[in-house]
A and B are shown apart, each in its own frame.
Chain A
Amino acid sequence: MTAKTLYDKLWDAHLVQQRDDGSALIYIDRHIIHEVTSPQAFDGLRLAGRKPWRVDSILATPDHNVPTTQKERAHGVQGIEDPVSLIQVQTLDDNCDEFGIVEFKINDTRQGIVHVIGPETGACLPGMTVVCGDSHTATNGALGALAHGIGTSEVEHVMATQCLIAKKMNNMLVKVDGKLGAGVTPKDVVLAIIAKIGTSGGNGCAMEFAGQVFRDMSMEGRMTVCNMAIEAGARAGMIAVDQTTIEYVKGRIYAPKGNMWEKAVADWREYVSDEGAHFDVVVELSGADIKPQVSWGTSPEMVVSIEDKVPNPAQESDPVKREGMLRALHYMGLKADQPITSIYLDRVFIGSCTNSRIEDIRAAAAVVKGHTKATSVKEAIVVPGSGAVKAQAEAEGLHHIFIAAGLEWREPGCSMCLAMNADKLGAGEHCASTSNRNFEGRQGYGGRTHLVSPAMAAAAAIAGHFVDVRTFTLNS
């Protein structure tokens, strides 16, 4: 038998029909939906008189534009002040009620960001195919699953047929061996990967992350890495199943139980790349070389380490890249060769499907503990990824640490990651953000985003400018 990659195995196990032209029908096990990319899909179903193929495969929750302040959340859907957001959230509720779809509604304690609640509830499991109308669905690949972001027409297609029309992608291996230094986190690893291969480095590929660094990483860290596979151009990122995966899944509300659990675990253990499997592209990095990362520009590949300076376009030989760098420097209001530590922040955002799980919240709390937010930072918000993360953090008293340090503790949702709700940057404001995209205007019109890890964002909130978290004094 020929050796297969993890992706080959996931593909083969879900292949319903292969077509001559290379496209195929792939069976979808889990479909997560939210308020922004589903309304037009439900309309399409109604117009054609179709019903969802398997209602029990769908899980819904509103996340993209739910408010995160306690005041607005106290009154449920009707408390949403922005009338356009209210219509979208209400439309999701109505559609789920009409079609009998399970939805974690706005004030359900299980509500949260789609990519946080999938793994957390066990709705997404190893060996599954998972789709959602949001590109960061790749997060679920950390479980050893094939997880794709899809567009709205595909949301409708999956609802109506339980299948996705797909073409097999190339296999790409990103191998990071060695050990990470203290203060270097999964976010720094993935930013370093994107800095190396660029935002189109993974185009057309399913990206598997392997090597010592990922074997040593927690499941939540693996989710942070797979989450940003899309920023590296790959539609899906994934990590092989190991003991860490199985222990993470065990006991989750929707995880299999009893005899079924044993059977499932035996099946999941197969989801690893075979020895000698062929990868079309291989990239290697050394874990020991990775330092805390900070993005300086308007693309997730515009990243340097905290010890570096803002790059100088004069040193770039590719004219298209140089043009992009000049435009980014202008938009970001930065000067070539200025030290990263000289960038001052107006706001700090700790949250998003990249970094809003309990380990992220703990990492941020450990840094701010006993310190006070710099007065020059107008606002620093901590937004847990789900109701469950929020409850856990509060049980550990982490919210008190943030509040005592002058940070705000919010209700779960996407929040300032894409600023569809009231949480956004003003024009020209610099933000240390734990989210995944630093495009122009992403966090608010004219806003300037710097992507960093939760620990680096927390340290920046205290210092007022970027600092190396490895030398930051912790009050433990």
Chain B
Amino acid sequence: MKNFTVLTGLVAPMDRANVDTDMIIPKQFLKSIKRTGFGKNLFDELRYLDEGKPDQECTGRPINKEFPLNFPRYQGATVLLSRENFGCGSSREHAPWALDDYGFRCVIAPSFADIFFNNCFKNGLLPIVLGDKIVEQLFQEMYVTEGYQLIVDLPAQVVKTPSGESFAFDIDNFRKHCLLNGFDDIGLTLEHAEAIRSYETKKRVEAPWLFDVVK
């Protein structure tokens, strides 16, 4: 997994509440058996004016010029700013894969849906919860400042604005540790294989019906 330390990134808006996973990556693109290449179909129904098909070249497709991610000023953005309940809907990890493949490393919103939030960390993408008022302030600053960049400092757990204001955010120690180092959490869990085995040994006696069921 890619590690995440300090990011200085251009900010782009997704200015609506309840951005759902079908919006982030429509289901026809879930047919891929790979985990890369979803970036060109991120927000497909909003970015393009026609219906997207899997395995299709996107360069010649009609672009929705009204959609902010298509504005020249947001090209190369790595921080996405959005409203409450970002990532609601399905458990599809294709959503963080698409954001990551497009180039985003960080999403800032007042709240996130649980499964999406969790999936981000598995893919080196940092979801940050900031209060409603702060998010509103960042939106306003971004709209009036072309080339608006934020500094996302994971070790210090702060987001810094160009005027030098900083906003602290929370993150679990374990997730922070994994992101900073780019650790794969399967390897980390397997360091506790003994604990898992002893749990199983105890359970096989207490509740044997939980084992060897599916044949």
Give A135 to B91 CA distance when docked, in angstroms: 5
A164 to chain B, nearest CB (A): 9
Among A48, A254, A323, A437, the residue within 8 A (CB) of B22 is A437
B113 to chain A, nearest CB (A): 7
Contact with B along A14-37 (1 / 0, CB 8 A): 001101111101010110000011
Q: A39 near B189 (CB under 8 angstroms)?
A: no
Give A54 to B27 CA distance when docked, in angstroms: 31
Give A157 to B88 CA distance when docked, in angstroms: 22
A343 to chain B, nearest CB (A): 22
B146 at the binding interface (Cβ < 8 Å) = no
Among B22, B23, B189, B212, the residue within 8 A (CB) of A56 is B212
B45-98: which have CB < 8 Å to A?
45, 51, 54-55, 83-85, 88-93, 96
Which of the listed residues A19, A53, A85, A151 has the most CB atoms from chain B within 10 Å of its own CB?
A151
Among A87, A254, A437, the residue within 8 A (CB) of B89 is A437
B134 at the binding interface (Cβ < 8 Å) = no
Q: Taking CB as reference atom, which chain A residue is nearest B120? A: A151
B117-149: which have CB < 8 Å to A?
118-119, 122-123
Q: A320 near B83 (CB under 8 angstroms)?
A: yes
A137-187: which have CB < 8 Å to B?
149-154, 156-157, 160-163, 165, 167, 169
A440 at the binding interface (Cβ < 8 Å) = yes
Interface window among B4-12, B100-108, B152-160, B191-199 = B191-199
A84 at the binding interface (Cβ < 8 Å) = yes
Give A122 to B209 CA distance when docked, in angstroms: 11
Give A140 to B96 CA distance when docked, in angstroms: 26
Which residues of B lie under 8 Å from residue A25 when comparing CB positions?
A: 189, 192, 195-196
Which residues of B lie under 8 Å from residue A156 when comparing CB positions?
A: 186
A224 at the binding interface (Cβ < 8 Å) = no
Which residues of A lie under 8 Å from residue B184 when comparing CB positions?
A: 48
Give A235 to B117 CA distance when docked, in angstroms: 12
Give A200 to B51 CA distance when docked, in angstroms: 29
Give A68 to B193 CA distance when docked, in angstroms: 43
What is the interface residue range for chain B against chain A?
35 or more
A420 at the binding interface (Cβ < 8 Å) = yes
Give A344 to B89 CA distance when docked, in angstroms: 27
Give me the interface of B with A, judged by CB distance under 8 Å.
16-18, 20, 22-23, 26-28, 30-35, 45, 51, 54-55, 83-85, 88-93, 96, 111, 113-115, 118-119, 122-123, 172-175, 184-186, 189-190, 192-193, 195-196, 199-200, 203, 207-215
Question: Given A36-B92, A320-B83, A327-B16, list of 8 further CB < 8 A pairs?
Answer: A37-B93, A50-B186, A88-B33, A157-B186, A200-B88, A233-B85, A254-B214, A418-B27
Give me the interface of A with B, judged by CB distance under 8 Å.
16-17, 19-23, 25, 27, 29-30, 36-37, 39-40, 43-44, 48, 50, 53-54, 56-59, 64-65, 84-85, 87-88, 91, 102, 122-123, 125, 127-128, 133-135, 149-154, 156-157, 160-163, 165, 167, 169, 199-200, 203-204, 233, 235, 254, 256, 260, 263-264, 267, 299, 320-321, 323-324, 327, 418-420, 437, 439-442, 445-446
Closest 9 CB pairs of A and B: A153-B122, A39-B33, A151-B93, A151-B119, A21-B173, A256-B209, A149-B91, A152-B93, A84-B31
Selected A-B contacts with CB under 8 Å, 30 pairs: A17-B195, A21-B174, A23-B175, A25-B189, A25-B195, A27-B196, A37-B91, A43-B35, A84-B32, A84-B54, A88-B31, A88-B33, A133-B91, A135-B89, A149-B91, A149-B115, A153-B93, A153-B123, A157-B185, A160-B189, A160-B190, A161-B189, A162-B196, A203-B111, A233-B113, A320-B17, A321-B17, A420-B30, A439-B20, A440-B23
